[in-house]
Amino acid sequence: MAEIETIEHDVLIIGAGGAGLRAAIEASAQGVSVGLVCKSLLGKAHTVMAEGGMAAALANVDERDSWKTHFADTMRGGYYLNNWRMAQLHAQQAPDRVRELEAWGAVFDRTAAGKIMQRNFGGHAHPRLAHVGDRTGLEMIRTLQDHGIHQGIDVHMECTMSSLLKDGDRVCGALAYTRELGKFKLFKAKAIVLATGGIGRAYKITSNSWEYTGDGQTLAYRSGADLIDMEFVQFHPTGMVWPPSVRGILVTEGVRGEGGVLKNKNDERFMFGDIPENYQSSTADNPEEGWRYVTKTDRQARRPPELLTRDHVARCILREVREGRGSPHGGAFLDIAWIKEKIPNAEAHIKKKLPSMYHQFKELAGIDITKEPMEVGPTTHYVMGGIRVDGETQMSTVPGLYAAGECAAGLHGANRLGGNSLSDLVVFGKLAGEHAAKFAKENGEASIDPDQVSTAQAAALGPLDSGRAQVDGGAYQIQYELQELMQDKVGIVRKEEEILSAIDEIEVLKGRAQTVRAPGNRQYNPGWHTALDLQNLLVVSEAVARAAVIRKESRGAHTRDDFPEKEDAFGNVNTVLRQGADGQMEAIQETIPELPDELQEIIDERR
Ligand SMILES: Cc1cc2nc3c(=O)[nH]c(=O)nc-3n(C[C@H](O)[C@H](O)[C@H](O)COP(=O)(O)OP(=O)(O)OC[C@H]3O[C@@H](n4cnc5c(N)ncnc54)[C@H](O)[C@@H]3O)c2cc1C
């Protein structure tokens, strides 16, 4: 322990995206000392990539919107597996969190009347997404950082947490290594908030960056916390498919929100062939946001079918490809250029509302989206499952350990609606920060066990052990094989024998990962970091597969070829994953607490 720098905070926040920053601001406002740690540079968190907007029932564009409708949409989108208390709090508090960001300096797009503009997104009954062109996440991060910087928060950048430490049942600290020099840092804390984001790097095709390796989920799981609903991985319908080097990069739903249509190689709008019977929406035409472009048939459907929920659109694209009607590189065509038939200055309009998309396609694919259609296909985007938290406080099943943002679970059920993540970050980031600070105040110091620190340190140094096997490609090769495996066998459409074979193969990869050597030393060694990240990816991949195999039905983002329908037996259960006494992962199902009557009524009124 002598060579380890020790740092002490009342509340330690791991992750500096929207959730971590908002938690840090709130904890600090409660008067406790706060440390904020991130694996990359401050400002580089995933949140910065968010494009389309944040959902909140401000009712600026359609005055019929309300928290109740937002709540009902979120529950319907999540196929009623959501933590209903979280869905309620989220819908009720999101408008205040948006207004708060505005008060802190966020410059949202405006309506003609000067209110915060809101755009349509899949599954939302009304235009609901507050946005800044297609760079909403950038504005959110900028605003939270600018505000947070004045709150006395200590920031530790390029510092990766590798283990949590416990004193009895409660957490008491964490061990980290610096990415640059590989030095260890020991953080003592009375409460910890995990805000580390998602798991997208477990898959080959993903919109997620290198940081999304399931670290928070794994840290929590290893310290005894429950994970839930890990089978629900969202495959966003529109990622880039060509050229291969950019495959998976997100094409925001904002393109469809602005009137973009999906077509197959026969120039057919194939989404019209698959509109669910119960699909209805009360959305009014909105002259400012593109609704005046819609055709007569669209008007009858009231909303274009391209804005059905993500799971549905992704499956429809996959069907077109499988049945030979896909685009040349295995996707579908997404056309926003067509709006020039309907409005003057369409080119300028597209560049104004979708500037990042315009540049992304121009620079990466040589396509001018104001003139030509884009080629798009499903990409791994978001994980609805994650760390089980209490709906009110965000505390996990381990005392003193909190979680918020994408690494936490509950709000989105079986499928997340677009825009509901950015609002999730600020609503539950705030609550996590508040309750973590409260816990720190109410609970005294915990003590760090030096043996735990030594064990954690030895585990982190394992891949550098010269006695280990040096295999071709090292940890990168194993990660590559894992990504292929998850994509092929636990991807968009799953079946029993493939998932079971994936679980067996993950077991083999786990064995290889535990003995793989990362050449070099602790300084500037990405091979070592990859070997450590890989351990986390294997845990979350196993969790996805084990959850997928016991949910013998198709619901939301989880599609089973062998069980193509929703089954009543699974309609009110969450999948819980935890470490058993023998160290093996256990997957069980638990019944969701019944909805209170007043929330059930809200849903029934809007069915
Ligand atoms: C391209 C793209 C566009 C999107 N657009 C939208 C949108 O328009 N609307 C919407 O609602 N959602 C959108 N999403 C989803 C949304 O952006 C994410 O779900 C959300 O930003 C996650 O925020 P977070 O705070 O949970 O995590 P992040 O913003 O990813 O932050 C995670 C933080 O944890 C740190 N970290 C991770 N592991 C460790 C570790 N071991 N030790 C220390 N630090 C660690 C990282 O360095 C980072 O600081 C989009 C996602 C993508 C990929």
Q: What pLDDT, in 10s, does the model give residues 540-573? A: 999 999 999 999 999 999 999 999 999 999 999 9
Half-sphere exposure of 486 (CA within 13 A, CB side): 31
Q: Whose CA is nearest to atom 6 of ligand 1?
A: 50
Determine whether the shortest distance from the Cβ of 155 to ligand 1 is under 6 A. Answer: no
Q: Whose CA is nearest to atom 33 of ligand 1?
A: 15
Q: Is the pLDDT of residue 486 over 50?
A: yes
Q: What is the pLDDT of residue 515?
A: 92
Strands 5-14 and 34-37: parallel
Check the CA dihedral 502-503-508-514 and report its sign.
positive
Half-sphere exposure of 230 (CA within 13 A, CB side): 35
Determine whether the shortest distance from the Cβ of 40 to ligand 1 is under 6 A. Answer: yes
Q: What is the pLDDT of residue 377?
A: 94
Closest CA to 170 of 144, 200, 192, 199: 192
Q: What is the pLDDT of residue 303?
A: 66
Q: What is the pLDDT of residue 445?
A: 87
Q: Does 244 share its domain with 353? A: yes
Q: How far is the CA of 409 from the centre of ligand 1 (A)?
A: 14
Q: What is the pLDDT of residue 288?
A: 31
Q: Kindly report the CATH number assigned to the domain that includes residue 316.
A: 3.90.700.10
If you search the block for the tokens 């996805």, which residue do you land on? 544
Q: Is the pLDDT of residue 167 over 90?
A: yes
Determine whether the shortest distance from the Cβ of 386 to ligand 1 is under 6 A. Answer: no
Q: Does 355 share its domain with 484? A: no
Average pLDDT, the chain: 92
Q: Is the pLDDT of residue 530 over 60?
A: yes
Determine whether the shortest distance from the Cβ of 66 to ligand 1 is under 6 A. Answer: no
Total number of domains in the chain: 2
Least confident of 287-296, 331-340, 379-388, 584-593: 287-296
Atom of ligand 1 nearest to the CA of 20: 25
Atom of ligand 1 nearest to the CA of 425: 25
Q: Does 351 share its domain with 246? A: yes
Q: Does 362 share its domain with 470? A: no
**Domain final residue, candidates 379, 398, 426:** 379
CB atoms within 10 A of CB 340: 16
Burial class (CB in 10 A: 0-12, 13-18, 19+), 250: buried
Q: Kindly report the CATH number assigned to the domain that includes residue 545.
A: 1.20.58.100
> Per the domain annotation, does 173 fall within a domain?
no
pLDDT digits (tens, 9 = 90+) for 171-194: 999 999 999 999 999 999 999 999
> Per the domain annotation, does 233 fall within a domain?
no
Q: What is the pLDDT of residue 342?
A: 84
Burial class (CB in 10 A: 0-12, 13-18, 19+), 293: buried
> Per the domain annotation, does 396 fall within a domain?
no
Q: Does 375 share its domain with 246? A: yes
> Per the domain annotation, does 166 fall within a domain?
no
> Per the domain annotation, does 245 fall within a domain?
yes
Question: pLDDT band for position 277 (50/70/90)?
Answer: low
Q: Does 243 share its domain with 374? A: yes
Closest CA to 248 of 232, 256, 261, 237: 237
> Per the domain annotation, does 7 fall within a domain?
no
Residues in the chain: 607
**Domain final residue, candidates 379, 399, 421:** 379
Closest CA to 442 of 400, 414, 484: 400
**Domain final residue, candidates 349, 379, 409:** 379
Q: Does 468 share its domain with 361? A: no
pLDDT digits (tens, 9 = 90+) for 294-332: 333 333 335 678 888 788 899 899 999 999 999 999 999
Task: Give the active site residues.
Answer: 236, 256
Determine whether the shortest distance from the Cβ of 49 to ligand 1 is under 6 A. Answer: yes
Task: Give one word for 229, left, alpha or beta, with left for phi > 0 and alpha for psi -120 to 50.
Answer: left
**Residue range 20-37: mean pLDDT, rounded:** 98
Beta bridge partners, 380, equal 206, 235
Residue 107 DSSP code: -
> Per the domain annotation, does 88 fall within a domain?
no
Q: How far is the CA of 587 from the centre of ligand 1 (A)?
A: 26
Determine whether the shortest distance from the Cβ of 429 to ligand 1 is under 6 A. Answer: no
Read off the tokens for 69. 């409708």
Q: Whose CA is nearest to atom 18 of ligand 1?
A: 47
Coil vs helix vs strand at 104:
coil
Determine whether the shortest distance from the Cβ of 16 to ligand 1 is under 6 A. Answer: yes
> Per the domain annotation, does 589 fall within a domain?
no
Coil vs helix vs strand at 263:
strand
Determine whether the shortest distance from the Cβ of 137 to ligand 1 is under 6 A. Answer: yes
Q: What is the pLDDT of residue 275?
A: 61
Q: Whose CA is nearest to atom 2 of ligand 1?
A: 50
Q: How far is the CA of 47 from the centre of ligand 1 (A)?
A: 4
| pTM of the complete model | 0.93
Q: Whose CA is nearest to atom 30 of ligand 1?
A: 46
Q: Does 371 share its domain with 495? A: no
Higher pLDDT, 257 or 89: 89
Q: Does 366 share its domain with 476? A: no
Q: Does 271 share its domain with 372? A: yes
pLDDT digits (tens, 9 = 90+) for 99-130: 999 999 999 999 999 999 999 888 898 999 99
Q: Domain containing 293: what range?
A: 239-379
